[in-house]
Amino acid sequence: MKASIPATNDILKRVSRSLYLSIRALPGSMRPVFSTAYLLCRAADSITDGSRLPRHRRIYWIEKFPALLINRRLRGAELDTLVPESAAAAETKGEKELLAALPEIFACADSLPQEELRLVYEVLSEVCGAMTEDLSVFGQDTATLRAFQTPAQLEKYCRRIGGGPGIFWTRAAMLHADIKSCGDTLAEQGRQIGEALQLVNILRDTPRDLRRGRCYWPQNELEEAGLQPQDLLSVAAQPRLRKILRKWTLETIRKITCAEEYVSCLPRTQFRLRSAVIWPIYWGLDTLQEIWKAENFLDPQFIAKMPRARIYFTVAKTSATLASDVAFIKGFRLRRETLLSTMSSKID
């Protein structure tokens, strides 16, 4: 019997409105594996962010979390402690509900075909490995704020927490759609798109991450700009930070540009699959545009996320791109060039 996510659909909608739309757009046969993987990775993220839970307990649970997926005996022994402990430390109502639903989500995973379950385990292991590094490297608040030391650390982090899901998304889709001819090339492009979207997340969440003790921008690059991580707590640091943001935004654009070829590999008859891929790419570029337009990007009250109306506008207006590679590329390049123009206007 195919797995389903009955009661957790509402939770998925609350914890990620945009990804909820992408998963809902998928063909019914694909939704269980994508929903399950996302909800488990998001639950791990909620555990990592649960600052009221001691750091050593968060590391304990994140290191153990992937094993709970495939070891039911271990899961039975640990879940009764994990759920109340992590839910009590969760920061939002949606996260509390998500963590409370873990037994049901794991049960959904149990009903997945073995090949899909293996893919979920692989991506969960990659993501949890990155989260363990996150908890080991960074502080917990502004008083203990620390940064990655080098660009290589940031690149490795994005490769695991973003690239891993990009590969998962691609290989899981290949189980259901006739896109095997693109093979390993498509998986590599999926990794790059995943890394690019993770860089978008890091850019967007910079003000809030700083207050959690996390600075993903490399220490050596900050020092070259005359900055320390603590300086980024002030909006006044934004002009000096722009050179670093420019470098990583250009890296994001470089990685995500392979989406032109990636989308062309998806069957034109698979409208649902194509929409689930195209929307996050468009929204990622739109989010970068909002970040670069803002004069108060470092203000924790500023939230660089797409207005609900813009999200639904994109959904409504991309019907032409679902059957036409040319139409998708036109929309992609328009967003990319608009972003590059905005960046140029902000850099002296």
pLDDT, one tens digit per residue, over 319-345 is: 766 778 898 999 999 999 999 999 999
Judgement on whether residues 259 and 125 belong to the same structural domain of the protein: no
Q: Is the pLDDT of residue 2 over 50?
A: no
Q: Predicted confidence band at 3 (pLDDT cuts at 50, 70, 90)?
A: very low
Q: Is the pLDDT of residue 1 over 80?
A: no
Residue 180 confidence (pLDDT): 62
Domain interval for residue 116: 1-137
Show which of 137, 172, 197 is a domain's final residue: 137
Show which of 122, 137, 152 is a domain's final residue: 137
Residue 269 confidence (pLDDT): 85
Tell me which DSSP letter residue 258 carries. T
Q: Is the pLDDT of residue 179 over 90?
A: no
Tokens 């989308």 belong to residue: 263
Judgement on whether residues 39 and 103 belong to the same structural domain of the protein: yes
Model-wide pTM > 0.85: yes
Judgement on whether residues 107 and 150 belong to the same structural domain of the protein: no
Judgement on whether residues 283 and 347 belong to the same structural domain of the protein: yes
**Percent of the chain residues past pLDDT 70, beyond the cut:** 94
Q: Is the pLDDT of residue 212 over 60?
A: yes
Show which of 121, 137, 153 is a domain's final residue: 137
- Spatial neighbors of 177 by CB under 8 A, at least 6 apart, are 266, 267, 270, 273
Judgement on whether residues 161 and 18 belong to the same structural domain of the protein: no
Report, in angstroms and rounded to the nearest whole number, the Rg of the chain calculated over CA atoms: 20
Q: What is the CATH number of the domain that holds 68?
A: 1.10.600.10
Judgement on whether residues 235 and 108 belong to the same structural domain of the protein: no
Number of domains into which the chain is organized? 2
Q: Predicted confidence band at 109 (pLDDT cuts at 50, 70, 90)?
A: very high
Q: Is the pLDDT of residue 310 over 80?
A: no
> What is the token pair recorded at 296?
């108060």
Judgement on whether residues 161 and 178 belong to the same structural domain of the protein: yes
Separation between Cα atoms, residue 92 and residue 121, nearest integer Å: 26
Judgement on whether residues 128 and 201 belong to the same structural domain of the protein: no
Residue 282 confidence (pLDDT): 93
Calculate mean pLDDT across residues 149-163: 97
Q: Predicted confidence band at 63 (pLDDT cuts at 50, 70, 90)?
A: very high
φ, ψ for residue 215, nearest 5 deg: -120, 110
Q: Is the pLDDT of residue 4 over 60?
A: no
Residue 314: enclosing H or E segment and its boundaries?
A: helix 308-317
Q: Is the pLDDT of residue 275 over 60?
A: yes
Residue 347 confidence (pLDDT): 75
Q: Are 99 and 46 in contact (CB under 8 A)?
A: yes
Closest CA to 244 of 228, 216, 225, 230: 225
Q: Predicted confidence band at 181 (pLDDT cuts at 50, 70, 90)?
A: low
Looking at per-residue pLDDT, the higher value among 92 and 120 belongs to 120
Judgement on whether residues 233 and 178 belong to the same structural domain of the protein: yes
**What distance, in Å, lies between the first and last C-alpha atoms of the chain?**
60
Judgement on whether residues 125 and 145 belong to the same structural domain of the protein: no
Separation between Cα atoms, residue 108 and residue 335, nearest integer Å: 38
Judgement on whether residues 336 and 347 belong to the same structural domain of the protein: yes
Q: What is the dihedral of CA 3, 8, 14, 17, to 10 degrees?
A: 10
Separation between Cα atoms, residue 40 and residue 124, nearest integer Å: 7
Closest CA to 276 of 12, 24, 5: 24
Looking at per-residue pLDDT, the higher value among 83 and 267 belongs to 83
Judgement on whether residues 148 and 130 belong to the same structural domain of the protein: no
